[in-house]
Structure 1
Amino acid sequence: MSTTVYFDAPPSQDAWIDFTLAVTEMFWLLPASARPAGIDVAGQLFAGGAFAGPGIRLSSWPADNLPVQKIVPGDEASDFFNRLVLILIHNLCPGCVRIERELSSQSGWEQPLIWLRHHLQRPALSAPGYVDAAAMGDNSIRLHLERYRDSLCHADLPYHWQVITWMDEVLSQRRKLTQRVA
């Protein structure tokens, strides 16, 4: 029921800068309701020169990283934010982390990956684990993820967020069925 992050090596300075900039951009593109509670500006995530988000800490200094961190699922918004960050770490700090996630009972990588590819304009991003190929090509999922960020009417944001959380549940059930059949 948790995600385990293994820190194998510190990121290079260039990788750290790219990661920092991507997380900062992601933070400002997310609606406030999807950002970590109590964090008002992206710089607060990097206080002391290390990334400190909900349940995870990463530094460019090897001595500051715990070799293994378990991230226990919190509320849906924290979990979505963590999945976004983990995808960015996986892609922008190659060789630095290994990520193991129990997908059968948790939200998957599909929706945060679609969100990042669209909003950060980084189509080459990949997930650190299994993704449902059909979900990745589902335009209705992408539509709600786009509207959750781009909605002109902020009153619609809770509706789009609810659809996103429902889709995580649907995709989780599909994974369970796929595992039973296999």
Structure 2
Amino acid sequence: MRGVSVFRLPKAVERAEWWQRHLVEVLTGRSVDVPDGPVKAEYDPQVRSLRQRELAKVAELAASGTAVSLTVLQDMRARFEREGILGLVAPRLRTVPDGAGRADRRVVAALRQVVDGQTGKSTVSAQVLRRRMERLVEAEHGPGVPLASRATLYRLPAAFTPAGRPA
């Protein structure tokens, strides 16, 4: 992974678990360590609104010496609700070191299929491969799949052609 130290990954996991503990408490009123335990009064969803619970958590964290803004807390909560604990890990730490970076996996799979289908045939331009990939993505997933930038689309085939294919 470009620019990401392997030594930072355990810290990222630790940080995601820290966020999870706090967000579960905000969402359910209970500690993640004791899921059947009593509901904390300041986080009780039956009595307090989500905003009140979020403000209580921001105040609790500030009192413990960890300043977190309401906006950051809300963003992390939304990511947690949408993606689970993986949403609490920085996106740059979630990419797989396969040369595809953050490109949509549907685009990468289609481009790989197009490149593999061209193996053993006459050479075609990257633009031809790109157009074939775009047609394949639209045929399989419909319109609206976010395509990578033009530069990325020209770079991607090198990540998985026989000479550049990861072992």
Give the alignment's TM-score, normalised by structure 1: 0.23
Q: Which has the larger radius of gyration?
A: 2
Structure in which a larger fraction of residues adopt strand: 1
Structure with bigger RCO (C-alpha 8 Å, 6+ apart) = 1
